[in-house]
Structure 1
Amino acid sequence: MNAISQLKNPLVVGRVVKGKQLGRTIGFPTANLHLLAGFSLEIGVYGVSIYHNSSNYIGILNVGKRPTFNDGNHQTVEVHILEFNQLIYDEYLTIEVKFFIRNEMKFSHLQDLIAQLKADAFYARKKFRKITK
């Protein structure tokens, strides 16, 4: 059982910090978060609502160690905000976790990672359409 199934829409609040900026080079820029409080989600990929200033967005949250990029044992929390293209360094985001998408995976080829991220985004959009009906 995944941790998300035990919690009702957990909230995460964090400040956007500069990361390695690898996501933007493959068409999936992420906001790397420095969390303000403890965090209890298991490693994995989640569908999330993102609250920034007075706007609401949807996106994909990754909690993990980024094994494809060999980042070692350092855990990161980063979110790809769908239909969003703004620089928001040092700004605060509130993330509401809505559903689990998949476990974190290591990909042998960058193209495999990109294909999976596209599939994750497609799944998240579809699931959010069902939720909002």
Structure 2
Amino acid sequence: MPGIILTHSGLPDPAQADALAAELAELTCRYLKKERGRTMVMLRHQPKDQWYIAGTSLEKDGRNSFRLEVSITEETNTKDEKAAFHKAAFALLSERLGNLHPHSNVHVIDCRATSYGYGGVTQEWRYQQGSEGLVAQAGE
């Protein structure tokens, strides 16, 4: 159940938003092996005159930037999978947004299964329910 939040510089563009949401969900499902039907994407726009890197606004710097945050359940992905995701996501956003500041970033957030969930239920609870079902079947 990944939660994806992309904050990027500039003004909203509905066509770009649709494309970015679809492409980011696809990358997350491909590289982090998540289910598309449980993937949430939120897009946020930050005016360039209100985004600062090293004390200079993007407006003055003349570049774009982004911060991509993807929340996943801890211990569900390897370091290699996360590294591949970082590379692919940065490449995608470099192409789509263009002229990126090098401090644009991707943050994969590993959340404890006891603290992360949806529908009022934690991922740990879901895991335990699944495990108990498998144990009961094996004992039959």
Common topology (TM > 0.5): no
Tell me which protein shows more strand as a share of its residues: 1
Tell me which protein shows more helix as a share of its residues: 2
What TM-score bracket applies, with the shorter chain setting the length?
A: under 0.3
Tell me the TM-score normalized by structure 2.
0.25
